[in-house]
Amino acid sequence: MESLSDMLKQMPKTDWMKRAEQQAKLVLEDPMILKLREEHPALDDRTLKVNMNRLYQYVREYNHCANCPGLENCPNDMTGHYTVLNVEETGEQTYIHEEKTACRKFIAKQTQDAIRSRIRTFHIDEQALSREHTYADILRTDLQRAKAVDQLNDYVIRTAEEGPLKKGLYLQGSFGTGKTFLMCYMLYQLAKKGFTGAIVYMPDFAEDLKGMFGDPQKLRETIELLKETDLLVFDDIGAENLNPWLRDHVIGAILNYRMNRKPTFFTSNYDLNALEKHFSFTNKDGDEEFKGQRIMDRIRPYVEVLVIDGKNKRGA
């Protein structure tokens, strides 16, 4: 931001003096400066003149904030901050000090960024996590799913109070009833409490994993992240193109590590019995009932089932 002195130096001498006097007069007559002088009677004309540039910036930034154009277009010297003046009286001398203070919008953005940094997403629409929704918002969206929303909210409260629980949740329902949205709500609420989380859209993630064969380190890092995060959501499980490697060495390995350590959450159009049938068959090896049971032994005992009723909200 151009300072008052820099702006005045660019003018011819006569104009400079005239404009300087006019600008100084306007600054000194500003209600903010009059209030400052009222609060600190020791501020004399000499002290104000010496600190004219500070006073100008103080008034200018206050006016910017009063007509805030938004954080992205903040015209102040330091984005999201405004100048505060502190007056120090020591004996016969009076000093004016300035400091930069973060505005509410900047603090809110920092808070939002910190929350979002705790949640990793894999092929999930970021808008689902872009703003905070309240319990009332979620409830009134569709009263048909009120019971499930109450159960989910109770789970969030218990986790916030006690830490990650041993059991996760299995959200079962038809297309478009808001299962993913509810999981994003849960992750956001608990990220505010400091918990980390990840949500994985299984159909696309399964295809991604194939591409990681050529990058073993990235594959290891991704699997380790999903093992270690506080809260893991497998979104739309059962819709992925299943193969033995994905089932046994990725999903199975992650679930095997997390059971009795950290809760895992699922959304699916299948109930648990139908999901077991899905895991019991692959295009490569055909029927493998034992393998399906083995995976379900790592899911069924470690979830509470929430049936999500309601209308299809997609495209609404």
pTM of the model: 0.79
pLDDT (tens digit, 9 = 90+) per residue, 90-128? 878 899 999 999 999 999 999 889 998 999 999 988 777
**How does residue 196 score in pLDDT terms, banded at 50, 70 and 90?**
very high
- Ramachandran sector of residue 51 (left: φ over 0; alpha: ψ -120 to 50; beta: rest): alpha
Q: What is the pLDDT of residue 71?
A: 94
Give the per-residue pLDDT at 4: 57
Domain 118-307 belongs to what architecture? 3-Layer(aba) Sandwich (3.40)
With a cut of 80, say whether residue 286 has pLDDT above it.
no
Residue 285, pLDDT score:
61
Tell me, what's the pLDDT at 24?
87
Q: Is 93 exposed, middle or buried (0-12, 13-18, 19+ CB in 10 A)?
A: exposed
Tell me, what's the pLDDT at 130?
A: 67
Closest CA to 301 of 269, 255, 251: 255
In the chain, residues under CATH classification 3.40.50.300 are: 118-307
Integer CA distances (angstroms), 9 to 27, 67, 76, 224, 257, in order = 18, 28, 21, 60, 68
Q: What is the pLDDT of residues 216-252, one digit of tens each?
A: 899 999 999 999 999 999 999 999 999 899 999 999 9
Contact 252, 246 (CB under 8 A): no
- Residue 1: the pLDDT is 53
| Predicted local confidence at residue 90, as pLDDT | 87
